[in-house]
Chain A
Amino acid sequence: RKEVEQDPGPFNVPEGATVAFNCTYSNSASQSFFWYRQDCRKEPKLLMSVYSSGNEDGRFTAQLNRASQYISLLIRDSKLSDSATYLCVVYNYGQNFVFGPGTRLSVLP
């Protein structure tokens, strides 16, 4: 089993739709969690950190469920510019950052 798993997609959604991604991790001692987005042929860019109580940044909401060891990302009112690959990242102290394989999103006009 991979340490961080994501549904590879692709998710094809119309503009304005709400879409949710899930990510599961295997190390129960994982400490920090992030969502990155990566556009085609570009570098990964931090989208948001994920806090235990959940957090929101505009149209984006991140949730963490430590008991079930999963992280989610919700995108509301999706825009064409949201089309990208979304990477789930888990940090384990003393080890390192582990990237998931990514979920590809295409927002269609």
Chain B
Amino acid sequence: DAGVIQSPRHEVTEMGQEVTLRCKPISGHNSLFWYRQTMMRGLELLIYFNNNVPIDDSGMPEDRFSAKMPNASFSTLKIQPSEPRDSAVYFCASSRGDRGGNQPQHFGDGTRLSIL
């Protein structure tokens, strides 16, 4: 079975540029999560969707970050304009269940983002 698919795997861009990260969850999973991981702060939840609806975006750092889930098989995380402090690994994860339920999450390979 295909797992969570993220693209791109790596992104290097200059500050001020727009960055778009993409995620395809596992088919049949109705919850989708975006995380950011850095050495200093560990794994941080940015936002999660249930049945394509954003449920909790309290982890989104600021207005420069936005996320969408136009359908059950696709989500984007956009940063505009990007800043060097946004450099991190961004993970997408999906799970079954109501509002995430008690089913475990399955993670994509992540996008390693470097903002110069």
Residues of A in contact with B (beta carbons under 8 Å apart):
31-32, 34, 42-46, 49, 87, 89, 91, 93-97, 99, 101-102
Interchain CA distance A31-B22 in the complex, whole Å: 30
B110 close to chain A: CB less than 8 A: yes
Residues of B within 8 A of A93 (CB): 99, 102
Residues of B in contact with A (beta carbons under 8 Å apart):
33, 42-43, 45, 48, 56, 91, 99-100, 102, 104-110
B104 and A46 contacting across the interface, CB-CB below 8 Å:
yes
Residue of A whose beta carbon sits closest to that of B48? A96
Interchain CA distance A31-B105 in the complex, whole Å: 15
Q: A49-B104, A91-B102 are in contact. Are A97 and B45 (CB under 8 A)?
A: yes
Residues of B within 8 A of A89 (CB): 104-105
Residue of B45, B48, B107 near A43 (CB, 8 A) is B107
Residues of B within 8 A of A49 (CB): 104
A99 and B42 contacting across the interface, CB-CB below 8 Å:
yes
Residue of A whose beta carbon sits closest to that of B4? A43
Residues of A within 8 A of B91 (CB): 43-44
CB distance from B36 to the nearest CB of A (A): 12
Q: A46-B106, A91-B100, A91-B102 are in contact. Are A96 and B43 (CB under 8 A)?
A: no
Interchain CA distance A44-B42 in the complex, whole Å: 12
CB distance from A46 to the nearest CB of B (A): 5
B107 and A44 contacting across the interface, CB-CB below 8 Å:
yes
Residues of A within 8 A of B33 (CB): 96-97
Residues of B within 8 A of A32 (CB): 102
Q: A87-B43, A97-B45 are in contact. Are A43 and B108 (CB under 8 A)?
A: yes
A43 and B43 contacting across the interface, CB-CB below 8 Å:
no
Residues of B within 8 A of A96 (CB): 33, 45, 48, 56, 100
Residues of B within 8 A of A34 (CB): 104
